[in-house]
Structure 1
Amino acid sequence: MIEHYRVYRKHGVWLNSPRMQKYHDRISQESFLHAHSIDAAQEAFYKACKTAKANRDDGASYPHKKKFYRTTIWKNTGIRKRGNHLLLALARGNEPIAFRLPSSLSVLEGKQFLEVRLAYNKNHRKYEWHLVIETGIEPRISTGTNVAGVDLGEIHPAAITDGQQSIIISCRELRSLNQYRNKRLAELKSLQATKKKQSRRWWIIQRRINRFLAKNKAQRRDLEHKISRAVVDWCILHQVGTLVIGDVCDVADGKRLNRKSRQKVSNWSHGQIRKYIAYKAEAEGIVVNDEVNEAYTSQTCVYCGRKRKPKGRIYSCECGQTYHRDIGGAANILSRFCYGELSKVDAPYPFFFRPHSKVSQSVALRSLYGTE
């Protein structure tokens, strides 16, 4: 990054990635890292520049601060497997880095390891090995022909319907974890504010905060995976071939919300859940469309088309129909995808499913619908 901006200031030339690699190879001295690891670092800089350029309207800035640590990448050309150990090549004349593989990965062949990353975990304050592996498992070919709509929510993480049957994935534990994190973090930060910055007591509290955030993140991630697995299992049981997810990325943009509402929206991990659902569904051969506009889907009656903003989870309309608000949103998302307008798909009575239950998700779903 420093060399790139130095060339730009002196000569007014913005070097692209191939030219920068040649320039760096010419001026660089003896290096400790493998040549392809250096190339990966340079490519990451230009990838960050490309991302910043695409998001300049949202306030993104180009890389301009020197990092104290960064992820080091080994490509497949610098990876070898010897017994139960993985060898990572360094520059010529240096012995490779070796680390022992867990038993679940030691049975894989060397060519299945596509990339290895040495990443620093700020919460645990230590380095971790991240591996990219080719499992060889091909995505299944789905035989389902049905289409289902998914409404992501902050209270109920997901509501699904295909117009005939519906289910609400209820996981209040995820919301409880978010609320506890905010409360506990406020207590620790308040205690830390009474100490001198960078003092011994200050760092003791900071390490406590890091441990707490790491544990909370792992708990939330576990629940998010269970939610996404429950969604995909329901789709498999109901022969769903296309899954439509409402786009809620801009749900609070441009709105004046009170403090509690802003906190709830900021804690809402709809992006992670959508990503987990997408890759699990694609592995089962289910096509995922997550670009359907969800505007007014929960406020529009699925039977008569009237609009009103209800309080609570029950939607009662002047036409006399009453149904669950989240299922109504999923039905309208499905209607907008299939017919181009709202109120064309009914909202069936939902079944509430708790993915955090000790009972296996697949067993619970199969017992519910009488399948083996």
Structure 2
Amino acid sequence: MGKVLLPLFRPVMLAANCVWNSCVWHSRETFRQENRWPTEAELKAKFKSFAAWRELHSQSAQAVVEEYFEAVSAYHKHRENVHLEMNPPGFKPKDHLRTVTWKRQGFDVEGNTLVLKLSRGKEPIEVVLPEGWDVVVLPDGTEVKGVPVEVKVKAVVRRRRVENLVLHVTLDLGVVPVNQVGAVSAYDYNSAVFARAVSSGRLDLFVCRELLSLVQYRNKTIAGFQEKMSRLKEGSRRWRRCLSAKVRVLKRLGRRIRQIEHTLTKSFAGLDEAEGVAFAVVGDLKDLRRSARTGIKGRKASQKINQMAYDRLAREQRYKNLVRGVQTDTWTERNTSSTCCLCGARNPAWRRHRGLWVCGRCGLVLQADLNGAANLLKQYLFRDCRNRALSFAFREARVWRWDGKLNRFVQVSPRAA
């Protein structure tokens, strides 16, 4: 959507912003008087009679309160984790155009026209969409028609000016068919290396040093800006300029990091589809960050672990696999890093420096992450990777590395990696 529809959406988005600011004011007053934060039900009941609430559809107004309550819950969680520098959600400027959400009962679809409902007695907003807006084409050419379940209208602001409006429509594609018979692949996520093992005997190693270096460079950039801003008066002209430069640089670095992450997960899904994989297994890393914070690992290793977006990579790989007919599952990585994938003997000391695995029983020499991926595959197939020999032989590992000129991962020789 362009600026043509901006006059139609401006009153609605300003009303949503007014509801947000009302939630902030009421929450602060309740905390000051009663030393507690109001619940979501209290906030919804409080503002039903407000004029700004009556500008929106009832579910759209409730969505604003739900977003505010999620922000407050996140603030409480950070405070419980001893992040005392975090602040509760605050007020927005009066002319701020807040994102408005229409849930399923708040809009209708008439052909290629999206009818967004407002409060009773107000004319709805009609948006004409292009032909085929609700059709998703899968990589194999299959067209799946989705049912819209949620609509969001967001304002794009650059240099304090609204340049455009963006319409986000969430579609329910129903049940996407997946392959039930085929090979199984397992993925071992690491900060700089991602390993892949397939039950057909294929091994792949993705070297992501560029991704790690960008994350580390982002840390140095943040530290540099914070050092400069600490010497300036907060809110001054130079402080605001420094803040704008910081946001601009971090957005650029964030786009580069997300590009590599999307290309990496797309390569995973493409290999699974090409090799007839039916199930892809990703390690369950929910306890990895907790173990890194307990002091078990070193300071540098803990920093790498806590800053890599493992959950986001798993979610991206899952939806890319889904549209290719591959089912993704998570499985425990218990004992996978300290067990030999060939003979099943376990000894943590056999994992040598810089990710080298040398088995003291059978003499297997393998990259440690490839050994972990193979053990994760055994764990998923046989429910245990210890004291069990590998029932199939692995081929020579392929090595992939990021090519900055081509903006994709290319296969290189193992010696070059």
Same fold (TM over 0.5): yes
Alpha carbons of structure 1 residues 168 and 121: separation in structure 2 relative to 1, 3 Å? farther
Shift of 1:326: 1.0
* Paired residues for 1:1-372 under 5 Å: 1=23, 17=41, 24-25=47-48, 27-29=49-51, 31=53, 32-44=55-67, 65-69=88-92, 71-79=99-107, 88-92=116-120, 107-108=132-133, 113-119=148-154, 129=166, 131-134=168-171, 136=173, 139-142=176-179, 144-162=181-199, 164-251=201-288, 252-290=292-330, 292-304=331-343, 305-307=345-347, 308=349, 309-319=351-361, 320-343=363-386, 344=388, 345=390, 348-354=395-401, 356=403
Q: State the 1:331 CA deviation.
A: 0.8
**Match of 2:366, SS?**
strand
Check 1:288–1:21 CA distance in 2 against 1; reply closer, same or farther (3 A cut): same
Q: CA deviation at 1:224?
A: 0.9
SS in structure 2 of the partner of residue 117 of structure 1: strand
Displacement of 1:244 in angstroms is 1.3
Equivalent residues of 1:143, 1:241 under 8 A apart: yes
Q: CA deviation at 1:97?
A: 6.0
Distance apart, 1:175 and its partner CA = 1.3
Q: Is the 8 A contact 2:156 2:166 kept in 1?
A: no
What is the CA deviation profile of residues 276-335 of structure 1, one whole-angstrom value per residue up to 9, with x for unaligned ones? Answer: 111111222222211x22133123222341312321132122232101111100011111
Distance 1:288 1:241 in 2: 9
Q: CA deviation at 1:142?
A: 1.5
- Share of identical aligned residues, percent? 23
**TM-score (structure 1 length as normaliser):** 0.77
Name the SS of the counterpart of 2:151 in structure 1: strand
- 1:53 and 1:204 mapped to 2: Cα distance? 31
SS class of match (2:317):
helix
Q: How far, CA to CA, are the matches of 1:281 and 1:60 in structure 2?
A: 36
State the distance in 2 between where 1:310 and 1:121 align. Answer: 50
- The one-letter code sitting in structure 2 at the alignment partner of 1:239 is G
Contact 2:195-2:370 within 8 A present in 1 as well = no
The CA RMSD over aligned residues, in Å, is: 4.3
| Cα separation, 1, equivalents of 2:175 and 2:90 | 39
**2:64 maps to amino acid:** A
Structure 1 residue 205 displacement after superposition: 0.8
Give yes or no for contact 1:223–1:356 (8 Å, CA) kept in 2.
Answer: no
TM-score of the two chains, using structure 2 as the length reference: 0.69
Question: Which AA in structure 2 matches 1:179?
Answer: Q
Unaligned runs of 5+ in 1: none
User: Match of 1:74, as an amino acid?
Assistant: W
* Deviations, residues 147-172 of structure 1 (Å, cap 9, x unaligned): 22111111113433326111112232
- 1:328–1:347 contact (8 Å) kept in structure 2: no
Give the 3-state SS of the residue equivalent to 2:320 in structure 1: helix
1:37-70 Cα shifts (integer Å, max 9, x gaps): 1122344466678989999986899xx9454356
- Structure-2 change in CA distance of 1:276 and 1:355 (3 Å): farther
The separation in 2 between residues aligned to 1:194 and 1:91, in whole angstroms, is: 50
Which is further off, 64-73 or 155-164?
Answer: 64-73
Alignment gaps of 5+ in structure 2: 1-22, 93-97, 136-145
Question: What is the deviation of 1:119?
Answer: 5.0
| Other structure's SS at 2:193 match | coil
Q: State the one-letter code of the partner of 1:171.
A: C
